[in-house]
Amino acid sequence: MAEKISKSEQEWREKLTSEQFSVARQAGTEPAFSGAYWDCKEDGTYRCVCCGEALFDSTDKFDSGTGWPSFSRPLEDGRVEEHGDASHGMSRTEVRCSRCDAHLGHVFPDGPAPTGQRYCINSLSLDLERKPGG
């Protein structure tokens, strides 16, 4: 795994769009059905928009009907970190990039087999590296 990345708020603001900054650095959420990847069927690797860390593979992506990209698991163990989140009057599990601590979304225990997990991720937190010819 790559070395941890730490940047100042100003450095992140200079790298990201205002929408990406709001979601990835301030734990915001894009509106359902608005992101670039919620309905994307292209093959590739989904990377962290902040640091480029490979997080999810398109083979683990599924249509959850929620309006956000959903994955059954991360690309590899240790790529994402999970934290308790009691904001907005709910008890959820937040998902962050383990390399740069970017907010990605949340994970829920209502996904498909074999994991039973639904990693509900904001498109604004991701960049899709398309597979050649995909």
The pLDDT assigned to 134 comes to 55
Pairing of strands 103-108, 92-97: antiparallel
Out of 48, 50, 97, 120, the active site residue is 120
Tens-place pLDDT, residues 51-108: 999 999 999 999 999 999 999 999 999 999 998 877 777 788 999 999 999 999 999 9
Q: What DSSP assignment string belongs to 42-103?
A: --EEEEETTT--EEEEGGGEE--SSSS-EESS-SSTTSEEEEEE-GGG--EEEEEETTT--E
- Ranges 3-12, 13-22, 85-94, 120-129: which has the least confidence: 85-94
Tens-place pLDDT, residues 116-134: 999 999 999 999 999 987 5
Which domains are delineated in the chain? 34-130 (2.170.150.20)
Would you state the structure tokens that stand for residue 121, as one six-digit string? 């991720």
Q: What is the mean pLDDT of residues 3-11?
A: 93
Indicate if 48 belongs to the active site: no
Point out which residues pair with 45 in neighbouring strands.
57, 129
d(C-alpha 39, C-alpha 94), whole Å:
22
The pLDDT assigned to 90 comes to 74
